[in-house]
Structures are given as structure tokens and as C-alpha cells.
Amino acid sequence: MKDPKIYGHWPYRDRPKVTWPGDKKLAFWVAPNIEYYELHPPKNPHRSPWARPNPDIVGYAYRDHGNRVGNWRLIEAMEKYNIPGTVSLSVAMCDHFPEMIDTVNDLGWEFFSHGVYNTRYAYGMDRAQERQMLQYTIDRIKAQTGQQTRGYLAPALTHTIHTIELLAELGFTYSCDLFQDDQPQPLNVPGNPLVSMPYSLEVNDHYAFNVFGMSPQQYTDILKRQFDTLLEEGGTSGTVMCIPIHAYLVGRSHRISPFEEILRYADEHKDDIWITRAGDIADHYLANHYDDARTHIAQFGGSDAA
Amino acid sequence: MPLDPNFLRYPMLRKGMDHDLYPAANMFEQPKVSWPDGKSVALMVTVAVEFFPLTPNDGPFRAAGHMATPFPDFRTFTARDYGNRIAIYRIMDALAAANIPATAFVSSALIDRTPKLVQDIQSTGWEIAAHGEDMNNIHYGDMPLDVEQRQIEACLSAWSDYGVTPKGWMSPGRGQSEDTLSLLKRAGIEWTADWGNDDMPYAMNDGPVAMPYTDEMEDRKCITILGQNEEVWSQQVIGAADLLAKEAQSHGGRILHLALTPYIIGQPFRIKFLRDLLTELAGRDDLWCATASEIYTTWQEQMA
């Protein structure tokens, strides 16, 4: 297979104009990952969860810091600047740390499904197994928070060839799994309308700190540049900026204060941007821009070879 | 061929942790601790003083810093040796100049290999904490219990023969088996630095207290893994000191852990940044500079 053909080719030129509520040019969302990594996960035949044999306490403790310490610093920082989170949730957290989930829910943050545990991968699952896992996450979030979850990001970004089509079948409205665009894009799957929602690898704190080795200040600098560029382009057609973060990274004592600077920067621009949650972006897009986008994209055809 | 059905079963899905080693907790809900003289932040400097044998252990992993090229890896072996003969003295002098004590994690093999070094560590007033016999003696899942017991015993009796009773322990490579915590407790160890999941101490269900170990700010992590330069590393430490002092206003005493690796930060081109960092920290009047056991004991007494 050369191309999964999930979406059509769509040049970033002369696109139909997207506007966000209040005529805003940039939809800005922050995605805290609230995750659970198991101490003794079963080993997926395609990928090993830990670098060392179980128990890998160095790796495990590194993540656990987020749930003991970092999440609380992050929640305080976001609340300080009135930025609601859209949480990428390992739904096992509903069982392991229910009070944390209830606290976040009471703040008005949205939850989307990030699988059950971040140590359980979709690799090797057949369609029925993946469907069962996805449905479980919908049900668990609903039972704990009352929210009908609409979004998905695969645990540890592990997919199968069925993933996107299953999302549409199960009533999701947005997928954070695809990185091809700075605007939402209608996806070519049967069933309910489904869009790709700009999330990010490049300005994801995991990439910034662990891949590029950035200092906390450098991360804030790139976030500001990301923001400035997408806001300017948003005047032509509304863009989406997402800041994906992990409390065990950005919630560290040497990183949280520099990170607050970008939250403050967004708050300072609140008259120009829509500070919002991903589900709200998807709802607005589906109601106002989905059909025009489909029509526009159809003209760009491209090779049909699969 | 689908995945084994066990991949969709979650036997440890329950309230709290997915194990019985320690309870789930929110650091911000713990009882507040007070440091001496009303200080906000306890500065805990730790130094790795390690022996890496030329023939590394076979598996299942090697501790960070170990031999990296095929036997005989003279380059790594001697570069580590640099840490224990040159760099360590630069660090000792820098800490003494700032009047800041340290806690050294020392391979017990160095008692016989570099006796003068071990004496100098003691006479400079540093605490000695156990760090296994040498960097081959890792702890890992499913290791035979008797092997693990012998490893711990060999290390602690070497110290005992030398006249030191360590209160603290850090495993070579900071790994543990399922049994390490209870074995350490039975051996009389009071705190361990293997767990990096909190910024404050916390009690294990059956094991020594976990003292905070901030691996994200280790010189080794920042400089050799993240590729940052020493100036950026030291700026992050200052940032952490600022944040923790602020947090202490509402939440009680905080701990700033600074992990130093001699063969890294003790290089001639880097030592200036350590000296400047320590001068800056020593100049802060809200810092209590103490050894790990002093901090542990003060915390422990208030938690009783």
C-alpha cells in the first residue's frame, strides 16, 4: 500500500475562507496529556513499552511524576490565564485517579480518548479488538464525566489500517492522529463526518525537550513564533494552533514558569483569537465549513494509485 | 491473527496505583514541612562517585555511563576514571568555596581502589550513601533473589568494615527488582534515590523512604542526552530554585535536588558554570544547604 488515502491533496492556497466565532482568525487550543503508563504491561509483539525489563522504574517514575506533581502545576497555570484544556486522556485514569478527573471536569475542560493505557498499543489488533477498545473509552469517559467524547488520539500514536474508519463509525467527529495540515480537513471515510484536527508533533513538548533538547525558554520562543505565523495566516483563512503537553515534562519545576509565558501571550491576544477546546472547533467547522472544504478539495484529484 | 485477548484485559485497573509499592498521592496535598530557620528550599546536592569495570555486565541493561564500545573500551574506562581523580576535586573545591555540603553516591569498590578519594570525601564533610559495589551490579526485574541479597550485603558490609553506615541507597543505574525495596529496608537502609516521581520525600508501603531524585535536571541528562550546554543547564537550575521558593510560600518547604556527575560537569571548560551556579545559590538567603540524610531526618520527624 503506498497511500492510505485518508484525505485528498489540498494545496494551501486559495482555500475557502474559514472564520472562527466572533470573526477570529486563529482557534487556539491546549492539549494536556493525562496519561497512565503501566508498571507491568503485556509486551506487544510489535513494540516494547519500556527500555528495561519490567519493572522499568526509571521510565515509570518519570511518567508518574506528572500525576503526582506536574498536572497540578499545569492546571494552576492554565486556570491563571483562563485557558480551558482539551485533555488527551488515558481513560484508565478514570479508575486510577478519579478525583483528578473530576477536578478537571469541574473546570469545564474537555476530554478526548487517548486509549486505555499509554502502554497498550493498537499494533496487531484486528478490527473487532480495536473497535472494542475504542467503544470502551467512549463509555468510560461518559460514565465518569458525563461527556460524550468526540475526539481521539491513538495511545502512543499506534494505529491500524482500520483506525480512522472506526472513528467515523463510532461517532467521533475529530481525529488528532494526522499531521498534514494547519486547518481541519474532511476525511475520506464512510459514515459520520470526521475531520482531522491539527494537534502537533513539532511543537509538542515531548519533541521540544526530548527530541530537540530545547531549553524551557527556547520552547516558549518557538511557541510564540508558531502563534504569530498562524495568526497572520488566519486572516486569509482561519487556522488552528494546538499546544500538546505532558505534565511530566512541562510541569517540572524548571519548565513551568517559562511555559506560563505562552499562556500569558495567548491571553494577551484573546481579543484576536478564539481560545477554545477541540470539540468546539470541530463542531463549528462541521456546521460552517466542512461542505465547502469537501467541494474545494475534490478539484485537486491527484493520482488515484493506492 | 489478532492480538492475544490479554491485551484487552486490565487486571490492575483500580483506584490508586497499578501496584502495591506506594500509594497514589498529590504532592500539593501532603502535610507542610518546615525547614530550619524558616528557609523555603532545601538544596540537596548529590554527586555520583562510580566505578565502571572494564568488562561490563552482560545484561539486561548497562547503567548510564558504562562501556560503550567493544572490549577493551579504554576510552570510556579512562574517561570515567578522570571523574574520580581530577573532576571530583574541582567539584569538592567548588562546593567547599560555596559552603555547600553534598551527598555522594559511592561505589563500595572504590574503598580499596581509590582509598584516598574516599577519605577525602569524608574529610570534606560529605555524606556517603551506598551505590552498590560497582556499576555492573544492577538491579532488575526477575533477578534471582539470592543474587540480589548478596549484592546488597556485599556492598553494605564493605562500608561497615570501613566504618561507614550509609542511611541512603541508590542502585547502580537506578533500577530495581520487585524485591529491592523490601530487601533494602531489611538491610537497614532508610531512604532510596531510585524513584524520580516526586519533588518531595514519600513513604513506601514496604521499603525505605523515596527521596526526590530530579533526573530531568541532572547534568548528565541535560548535557549528554538533551545536548544542552552547561550555561543552559545552570539557567534551568536557577529557574527551578525560583519556582520552588515561590511554591514554598503556599505549600511549605520544598527541595531543590541538584545531581552532579564529575566526569561531566567537572570538565575544565564546564566547571566555571558550576562555580557560578553554586555562588548564586549560596547567595540566596532562603536556601538551606544540607545533606540528603539531614533533609530526610528533618522531614521524617515532622511526618511522625
pLDDT digits 0-9 by tens, A9-67: 999 999 999 999 999 999 999 999 999 999 999 999 999 999 999 999 999 999 999 99
CA distances from A64 to A2, A246, B97, B141 (A): 39, 11, 37, 19
CB A58 within 8 A of CB B196: yes
Question: Testing the interface with B: which of A134, A210, A248, A254 to mutate, by most B Cβ within 10 A?
Answer: A254
Say which DSSP state A261 is in: H
C-alpha span between B139 and A40 (Å, rounded): 16
Q: Cβ contacts (< 8 Å) between A60 and chain B: which residues?
A: 197
Q: What is the mean pLDDT of residues B56-79?
A: 96
Per DSSP, the three-state class of A263 is: helix
pLDDT digits 0-9 by tens, A178-231: 999 999 999 999 989 999 999 999 999 999 999 999 999 999 999 999 999 999
Asked if residue A302 has pLDDT above 80, the reply is no
Q: Does residue A252 sit at the B interface (CB-CB below 8 Å)?
A: yes
Asked if residue B186 has pLDDT above 80, the reply is yes
| Type of residue found at B39 | K
C-alpha span between B150 and B143 (Å, rounded): 12
pLDDT digits 0-9 by tens, A223-237: 999 999 999 999 999
Question: Testing the interface with B: which of A47, A160, A253 to mutate, by most B Cβ within 10 A?
Answer: A253
Q: What is the mean pLDDT of residues A234-247?
A: 98
Are A96 and B14 an interchain contact pair (Cβ–Cβ within 8 Å)? yes
Q: Does residue A143 sit at the B interface (CB-CB below 8 Å)?
A: no
Strand pairing class (B168-169; B287-289): unpaired
- Taking CA atoms, what residue in B is nearest to A64? B197
Asked if residue A276 has pLDDT above 80, the reply is yes
Q: What's the whole-number average pLDDT of chain A?
A: 97
Q: Cβ contacts (< 8 Å) between A251 and chain B: which residues?
A: none
DSSP assignments along chain B, one per residue: -PPPGGGG--TT-SSS-SSSSS----GGGSPP---GGG-SEEEEEEEEE----SS---SS---TT---SSSS-HHHHHHHHHIIIIIHHHHHHHHHHTT--EEEEE-TTHHHHSHHHHHHHHHTTPEEEE--SSTT----TT--HHHHHHHHHHHHHHHHHHT---SEE--GGG---SSHHHHHHHTT--EE----S-SS-B--SSS-EE----GGG-HIIIIIIS---HHHHHHHHHHHHHHHHHHHHHH--EEEEEEE-HHHHTSTTTHHHHHHHHHHHHT-TTEEE--HHHHHHHHHHHH-
Are A42 and B7 an interchain contact pair (Cβ–Cβ within 8 Å)? yes
* pLDDT recorded at residue B59: 83
- Work out the number of other CB atoms within 10 angstroms of the CB of residue A129: 19
pLDDT bin (cut points 50, 70, 90) of residue B1 is confident
Asked if residue A303 has pLDDT above 90, the reply is no
pLDDT bin (cut points 50, 70, 90) of residue A304 is low
C-alpha span between A252 and A258 (Å, rounded): 11
C-alpha span between B198 and B30 (Å, rounded): 12
Cell triple for residue B102? 553534598
Q: What is the mean pLDDT of residues B244-265?
A: 98
C-alpha span between B222 and B66 (Å, rounded): 18
ipTM here = 0.97
Asked if residue B304 has pLDDT above 90, the reply is no
Q: Does residue B226 sit at the A interface (CB-CB below 8 Å)?
A: yes
Asked if residue A150 has pLDDT above 90, the reply is yes
Asked if residue B257 has pLDDT above 70, the reply is yes
Asked if residue A305 has pLDDT above 80, the reply is no
Asked if residue B159 has pLDDT above 60, the reply is yes
- Rounded to a whole number of angstroms, the distance from the CA of A163 to the nearest CA of chain B is 15
Q: What is the mean pLDDT of residues A110-114?
A: 98
Question: Testing the interface with A: which of B14, B26, B138 to mutate, by most A Cβ within 10 A?
Answer: B26
pTM of the model: 0.97
Q: Does residue A43 sit at the B interface (CB-CB below 8 Å)?
A: no
CA distances from A41 to A119, A220, A290, B61, B146 (A): 6, 34, 40, 19, 26
pLDDT digits 0-9 by tens, B197-217: 999 999 999 999 999 999 999
Asked if residue B95 has pLDDT above 50, the reply is yes
Q: Does residue B194 sit at the A interface (CB-CB below 8 Å)?
A: yes
